[in-house]
Structure 1
Amino acid sequence: MKRIVIFDDDVDILEILTYLLTEKGWEVHTRTTCNNILEIISEKRPDVILMDNWIPDTGGIKATQLLKADPKLTNIPVIYFSANNDVEILSQKAGADAYIAKPFDLDELEKIVNQFALS
């Protein structure tokens, strides 16, 4: 089973994505903060990570940089997602593997998540 960890402080988005991805056969784990991110990702070993930009307490950029700096976790794809107009630039600054802008099309999100899960 494919596993994903989603970091977003918007509980509604977490609920929608959990429902959608669970229906598509994913094991979904969600967090509303980035506290202890290295421990969480080391424990869950997801196939993909969805990372919001405005996430307490570390923030999406710093959290993604921490993951990409860890040799054991750097190969896990991080898809950055944000309602910020500069999501592409923020994604690059963070070192994410891809990005998607909010509001997003659910089919588009599913496509990009599956693309990175298969790589």
Structure 2
Amino acid sequence: MSKKVLIFDDDIDILEVCTIALKSAGFEVEGLTNCDNVLDKLDKHQPDVVLLDNKIPATGGIVASQTIKSSQHHKTIPVIFFSASSNVEKLASEALADFYIEKPFDLTTLIDAVKKASR
């Protein structure tokens, strides 16, 4: 059974490219353009890995990731934080994310990060 990745990014182009790349690598992928009610969305989609953009409506990636990591039921789901910010490592740490990727990234980096997170 393939691992499921839930991507949160409001940039439709990035969402589409990431979805295509991850599906071609054998992952099951769902993409969402906002992180409203993030825990409800995790309950609905049951991901093995979350890929979370920093600047996403409405609460933003930092708050969404902190919400995931503070949830008893969801805190073990690996979160990969990604951002075009030059301080993505600091933001990911603040967000309590497990991994981070700096935008722009190549697709091999994305796939490798998701494989690592899904182990």
TM-score normalized with structure 1 length: 0.97
1:9 aligns with 2:22: no
Aligned-pair CA distance for 1:32? 0.6
Correspondence list, 1:68-87, <5 A: 68-87=69-88
Identify unmatched segments of 5+ residues in structure 1: none
Partner amino acid, structure 2, of 1:68: K
Match in the other structure for 2:112 = 111
Give deviations 1:26-81, integer Å, cap 9, x for gaps. Answer: 11111111011100101211111001000000100000000001000000000000
Q: Distance in 2 between matches of 1:31 and 1:108?
A: 21
Q: Distance in 2 between matches of 1:25 and 1:64?
A: 25
Q: 5+ residue gaps in structure 2?
A: none
Superposition RMSD in Å: 0.7
Residue in 1 that maps onto 2:95: 94
Separation in structure 2 between the aligned mates of residue 10 and residue 106 of structure 1, nearest angstrom: 16
1:25 Cα offset (Å): 1.3
Runs of 4+ in 1 over 2 A off after TM superposition: none
Aligned residue type for 2:87:
D
Matches within 5 A, 1:4-43: 4-43=5-44
Inter-partner Cα distance in structure 1 for 2:70 and 2:29: 24
Q: TM-score, normalised by structure 2?
A: 0.97
Distance 1:2 1:55 in 2: 24
Deviation at 1:24, TM superposition (A): 1.4
Distance (Å, rounded) in 2 between the aligned partners of 1:95 and 1:46 = 18
- Distance in 2, matches of 1:7 and 1:89, equals 19
Query: What is the total number of aligned residue pairs between the two structures?
Result: 118
Q: How far apart are the structure 1 equivalents of 2:29 and 2:13?
A: 15
